[in-house]
Amino acid sequence: MNIDDPWYVKDINFDPELKQLDIWINFNKGSKFPCPKCSGPNCSVHDTVEKEWRHLNFFEYKTYIHCRVPRVKCGNCRVHQIEVPWARKQSGFTFLMDSIILTMAQSMPILKIAKMFDEHDTRIWRVVIYYVKKSREKEDFSNVSIIGVDETSFKKGHKYVTIAADIENSKVIYVSEGKDSSTLTKFSEDLINHDGEPTMIQSISCDMSPSFISGISSEFPDAKITFDKFHVMKMINEAVDEVRKQEQSTIKELKNSKYLWLKNEENLSEKQSERFQNLKNQNLKTVRAYNIKLSLQEFWNSQNRKKAAQYLKKWYFRATHSRLTPITEAANTVKKHWDGILNYFDSKITNGILEGINSIVQLQKRNARGFKNVQYFINMIYLKLGKLKFELPT
């Protein structure tokens, strides 16, 4: 524990029944300490406060440090409790304990750690939240210029958080509760607090949600929006499925065939593929919708923006003349977001990184069997995906 003068170990008690090791630390009589407020030297001890810290287990024995911590009387200020060298202020754990908790938290659910140490998970979370906050304070976003924004679900019943990632460094830089346009306002404030500059943001990738669009245009006026191609394709896939659902009332074979139209053909099993070929050879509305989807998929391979624009125009004409209402509606959504979709051919950004981030977040959620509150959820995201540099005490 690196205990140095004036501190010394006064007593040790080993209790095999309780499976507990207790260590008492004391300080030399007449010791002077610097003032924790103004650093004024040689303050005399005014009185002491009995404190206890959980330390690393000694084998399977829980270990506690006890100490009567001095409060010193400073000539300049008033009476203050000094900081001890083995733990941070107001913590019930020693530095070494903090270190091990934080290290474990990066690869283990907090509840599991709590169970292992036989501590309440609230105390473990407190350590995590403290170090996440501390390391985020030191983050520098002055070079961030390309952002991806996406939402991810926190709880069933439409509870969401919005995640902003630095796409070039594939790192989460901000998480906020909710998915309305105010999340972009808070993100912009946070960016400024970390030496970032909202007008430096050139490109933002996001889905077509109106709240993101309005938030971006008011907070990041110089950023070009690129509508994420995965979200555009998701929308058209949903339209295909809508056509299929309507048609299955007359064509029973279409029942339970959703994934055949969704997956890439080469990913189907032999049996699925046979069934799919059989459906595809029939004169079905679903087949027409599917072909329009395939043709939009091809659009993303266009050589440049000019060619892409020509392609999309033709596609739009075809889709709006398909006499398939869900497809026509999807085409109108494309029309409404025309420039932002075409911006892909200049920026070449997608939310691919955020899709990856999202799946890690959702995996954590399942492993933790949910999170008690949204702050825990947000801190977990920073811990796992914020690429934070923790300065762990050793």
Residues that bind Zn ion (CB under 5 A): 35, 37-38, 40, 74, 76-77
Residues 242, 286: Cα–Cα separation, whole Å:
9
- Taking the least distance from each CB to Zn ion, the nearer of 74 and 388 is 74
Residue 154: φ, ψ to 5°: -100, -45
Least distance in angstroms from the C-beta of 70 to Zn ion: 14
E strand map for the chain: 7-15, 20-27, 44-58, 61-73, 79-81, 146-155, 159-166, 171-177, 203-206, 224-227
- Taking the least distance from each CB to Zn ion, the nearer of 76 and 217 is 76
- Taking the least distance from each CB to Zn ion, the nearer of 40 and 198 is 40
- Taking the least distance from each CB to Zn ion, the nearer of 77 and 233 is 77
Residues 119, 229: Cα–Cα separation, whole Å:
46
Q: Could you tell me the two tokens for 380?
A: 């977990």
Residue 82: φ, ψ to 5°: -80, 160
- Taking the least distance from each CB to Zn ion, the nearer of 38 and 116 is 38
CA distances to 6, 23, 25, 61, 206 from 52, rounded to whole Å, are 19, 10, 10, 16, 49
Residue holding tokens 């892909």?
344
- Taking the least distance from each CB to Zn ion, the nearer of 38 and 192 is 38
Nearest CA-CA partner of 149 in 339, 297, 340:
340
- Taking the least distance from each CB to Zn ion, the nearer of 43 and 341 is 43
- Nearest 5°: the CA angle 200, 194, 101 is 135
Least distance in angstroms from the C-beta of 42 to Zn ion: 11
Least distance in angstroms from the C-beta of 89 to Zn ion: 16
Least distance in angstroms from the C-beta of 108 to Zn ion: 42
Least distance in angstroms from the C-beta of 75 to Zn ion: 7
Least distance in angstroms from the C-beta of 37 to Zn ion: 4
Nearest CA-CA partner of 60 in 103, 15, 104, 25:
15
- Taking the least distance from each CB to Zn ion, the nearer of 33 and 125 is 33
- Taking the least distance from each CB to Zn ion, the nearer of 40 and 352 is 40
Residues 314, 299: Cα–Cα separation, whole Å:
10
Least distance in angstroms from the C-beta of 165 to Zn ion: 44
Least distance in angstroms from the C-beta of 357 to Zn ion: 46
Q: How many Cβ atoms sit within 10 Å of the Cβ of residue 114? A: 17
Distance, C-alpha 347 to centroid of its chain? 24
Q: How many Cβ atoms sit within 10 Å of the Cβ of residue 363? A: 11
Residues 247, 288: Cα–Cα separation, whole Å:
12
Q: Cβ distance 159 to 382 under 8 Å? A: no
Least distance in angstroms from the C-beta of 34 to Zn ion: 8
